[in-house]
Chain A
Amino acid sequence: MKKEKISEVIITYLILIAVSLVFFFPVFWLILASFSSSGSIYDFDGFFPKSYSTATYVKLFSDTQMYDYPSWLRNTLFIAGFSCVISTILVILTAYTMSRFRFKMRKPLMKTTLILSMFPSFMGMTAVYLIMINFNMINNLWSLILIYSAGAPMGYLVQKGYFDTISNSIYEAARIDGATNPEIFWKVTLPLSKPILVYTALTSFAWPWSDFILPNMLLKNRDLWTVAVGLTHLGETEFSRFAAGAIFIAVPIVILYFSLSRFLVAGVSDGAVKQ
C-alpha cells in the first residue's frame, strides 16, 4: 500500500480527535459530576460543578439508609458473574455446533431461533413473570441468572460467524489423527477461539450488569435491587450520587474491557492454516 499524503494524515487525526471527544466528553462530565460537593444538578455551572469534593463517594457507601448502594453492588456482581459463566458455555457450544456440524435439525433450528428472535424481546416478559410467580421464584437472584443464561444461546450468530472463518481443514486433520469430537472441541477449537470466548464472556457479563427491565420486574424487595434498578430511583437532586454510583460500576467493566481488549481485536485464524 502506498503511503498516505500529509493532508490526509492531518484530516484523519482531526476526525479522530473529534470522534474521541464525542465519545469521551459525556463520560468525563459524569466523572466531574461525581466529585461535585453539591448533589443537585441545578447547582452546576453548565457541565462543571461549582466546587469539588469526594464526599459523594463516602456518602454512597456510608449513607445506606435510603439507598443501599453496597448491597445493590453485591447483587449485581452475583447475578452478572454467574450468568456470564453459564451463558458463555452455552453460547460457545451452540455456535460451534451450528458452524461445524451438518445434521438434519440444523437448518430448522437456525430458522426457529431466527424466528424466535424476531418476537419483541419483552413480549415474553409478562409470561416469564407469571412463570416465575408460579414456580415461586420471584425475589430470587438465581431466577434472574436462570433467565439470562437460558436465553443466551439465542444470540449465537456472531460466534457462529467467527467459527465459520476457521478453516475446515484443521478439523479434518484432527479427525484423521483419530481425535473424537469432544476432544476436537476441547483441544482444537477452544484454544483457537480465545478472542470470541472473551468477547462472549464480556457481552454476557455486561448484559445482566446493565439490564434494568428484568430486575425491575422480578426483584421487588429493596434489599435485592441491582445497581441499575437503584440508580433509576435517583432524581435530579441526587444527580451527583447517581454519577458517583454510575462511575463506580462503570470503572471495573471499563478496566476489564481494556485488559482484555487485545483479545477482542486479535485475528487468530490467519496463523493457523497457510493455504
Chain B
Amino acid sequence: MKSSSIKTKCSYIIMGLGQFLYGQRIKGLLYMGILGLYLWYLFTSGIGDMTGFFTLGTVEADPWLGTEGDDSVIMMLRGILSFLILGAVIIFYLANIKDIKETERLAGSGKMLPSFYRSVLAFVDKKFYVVALFFPVIGVLIFNVLPIIFMILIAFTNYGGNIVPPKLIDWIGLDNFRQIFSLSGIKGTFVKILGWNITWAICATLLNYFGGLLLALLLNKRCVKGKAIWRAFPIIAYAVPGFITLLGFKFMFSYGGPINYYIKAMGGTSIGFLDIDAGWRARIIGLLVNAWISIPTSMLLATGILSNMNNELYEAASLDGAGRWKQFTNLTLPFVVFSTTPTLITSFVGNFNNFGVFYFLRGGLYLDDYFLASDTDLLINWLYNLSIDNNYYGIGAAVSLIIFIITSVISLTAYVNSSAFKKEDTFR
C-alpha cells in the first residue's frame, strides 16, 4: 500500500512515471513523451516566446549596422501559441493525475490492471466524445481561436500605418477605440455604415429565409408534377459558384452589359447601376443578387426538414377541419422554425458579414463623405479596405471587435431565447 502511494506521487512530479511503475508501460511512456517534448520545446524556444509576448521585441532592426531586429508580429503570434501549448499540457497533466488515482484504486483493490490495448478500447467507448472531438478542436484552436486572439490583441497595439515590421510595435491600450468614437471622419463613417449594415442583414435574412421556405412549400404541393425538374432550376443557381454569379451580374449591369443595351435601344441613356452615385439602386441590386444566390440553399434546407415532418399530423389537422393557412401557421412554421433557428441565426450573422456581394459588385469605391468606404459597403468591407488595402491594422482590428460585440449580443439573445436551445429534445 505504501509503495503504491509513492508510485502515485511519482506521477505528480513526472507525469506518466507512476503509470510506468505500475506496469502500464505504454501509457506511461506516452505521458512521459509528451512531458519530454514540452520541456524540450520550453527550453529551446518556449520561454523566449512567452517573454517576447509581453515586450513585443526590444531590438529594432538597423540596416546600417546590420543588426537583425525583432519582428513584433511574429513574436506576438509565437507568444499566443506558447500559451495555448501550455494550456494543452496542463490538460494532459490533469488527465494524468485522474488516471493515476484510478490506477491506484484498481491496484489497491487487487484487481488486474487493464492492458494498454484494453484501456484504449474502453476509453474510446466511454469517452467517445473526447476521441471524436480531438481533431476538430485542435484544428479550430489553431486556425480560428489563435488568429482571433491575435486580432483582438492587435486592436490594443499601434500596429498599422507607418508602424509595421521591421519597426517595433507597442501596446497602446484603448487608443484605437478612442479614435473610432471621436475622430470625426471615422466616427461618421462608422455610424452610417452600421445603420446600413443592420438594415441589410435583416432584409437579406428574411428575404432568403422566407423565399426559400415558400419555394419549398410550392414545390411540395400535390398538384406539382415533375418536382425534380422544377427543383432543378434553383439547384443550378445553387451549384454555380458564388463569385461567378456575382461577376456575371456585375457584367450584366455594367455599361456595356445587356441591361444598358436594351435601355439604349429603347432610347434611354445608359445607367450606371453600380456607379459611385448609385446609392439605393446598387443596394437593392445587391439585395436581389444575394437572394438569387441564397434562396436555393434555404429551399433545399426547408425541403429536407419538411420531408422529416410527420404526415399524420396534417391528416389529423385536416380531419379536425383546420384550413391550409392554419396548418401552415400552427404546424409547418413552428416545426421549420424550431429545426432551423440555429441556421437562421448563422445566416443572420453570415449576412451581417457578407463580404462577397459588394466586394465583387462594387469593390474599391471610396465616397467623399466616407472614410475609405462607399455607401453599399458593410462593416466587413470597410474592415477590408482599412486593413488589407490601407494597412490600418490596429483600427481595423478595433472595428472587427466592435462588429463582433454587435453580432454576438444580437444573436446570443436570439439563440438563448429560441425554443431550439431551451427544449432541445422536444421533437425527438
Contacts and interface: CB of A to CB of B under 8 A. Distances in A.
Given A90-B135, A122-B384, A228 B243 contact: yes
| Dominant secondary structure at the B interface | helix
B232 A258 contact: yes
A93 B139 CA distance: 13
Nearest to B241: A210
Interface residues of B, number: 104
B373 to A, nearest CB: 15
A164 interface: yes
A271 to B, nearest CB: 11
Contact of A168 (B314, B407, B428): B428
Contacts of A55: none
B132 A94 contact: yes
Give the bracket for the number of chain A residues in contact with chain B.
Answer: 35 or more
A54 interface: no
Contacts of A177: none
Interface stretch (B8-16, B51-59, B62-70, B245-253): B245-253
A231 B248 CA distance: 11
Nearest to A126: B387
B89 interface: no
Contacts, number: 289
Contact of B252 (A29, A94, A151, A157): A29
B151 A231 contact: no
Contacts of B21: none
A97 B128 contact: yes
Contacts of A199: 300, 304
Given A3-B222, A23-B237, A264 B244 contact: no
A181 B125 contact: yes
Interface stretch (B93-101, B180-188, B396-404): B396-404
B77 A130 contact: yes
A176 interface: no
- Kindly name the residue among A127, A128, A195, A257 whose own CB sees the greatest number of chain B CB atoms within 10 A: A127
Given A46-B262, A151-B139, A167-B428, A250 B240 contact: yes
A161 B339 contact: yes
Contacts of A141: none
A273 B133 CA distance: 28
A29 B234 CA distance: 16
Interface stretch (B103-111, B142-150, B271-279): B142-150
B236 interface: yes
Given A26-B249, A236-B256, A120 B383 contact: yes
A64 to B, nearest CB: 20
A210 B258 contact: no
Contact of B318 (A2, A3, A9): A2
A157 B77 contact: no
A154 B140 contact: yes
B234 A239 contact: no
A51 interface: no
Contact of A12 (B143, B218, B301): B218
A221 interface: no
B342 interface: yes
Interface in B304-346: 304, 307-308, 310, 314-315, 318, 339-340, 342-343, 346
Nearest to A181: B128
Contacts of B427: 164-165
B411 A1 contact: no
A236 B142 contact: no
Interface string B9-38: 000000000000000000000000000000
B241 A249 contact: yes
A85 interface: no
Chain B CB within 10 Å, residue with most, of A123, A164, A239: A123
Contacts of B144: 116, 124, 150-151, 154
A150 B388 contact: no
Contacts of A261: 228, 231, 235
B343 A12 contact: no
21 contacts: A3-B223, A16-B218, A24-B236, A26-B292, A44-B258, A45-B261, A115-B408, A118-B407, A120-B400, A123-B397, A123-B400, A127-B146, A127-B154, A131-B146, A161-B342, A164-B424, A212-B243, A228-B241, A253-B240, A254-B235, A264-B303
Interface of A: 1-4, 8-9, 12-13, 15-16, 19-20, 22-24, 26-27, 29-30, 40-42, 44-47, 90-91, 93-94, 96-97, 101, 103, 106, 109, 113-128, 130-131, 134, 146-147, 149-155, 157-158, 160-162, 164-165, 167-168, 180-182, 185, 195, 199, 206, 209-210, 212-213, 228, 231-232, 236, 239, 242-243, 246, 249-250, 253-254, 256-258, 261, 264-267, 269-270
Closest 4 CB pairs of A and B: A210-B241, A124-B147, A150-B139, A127-B147
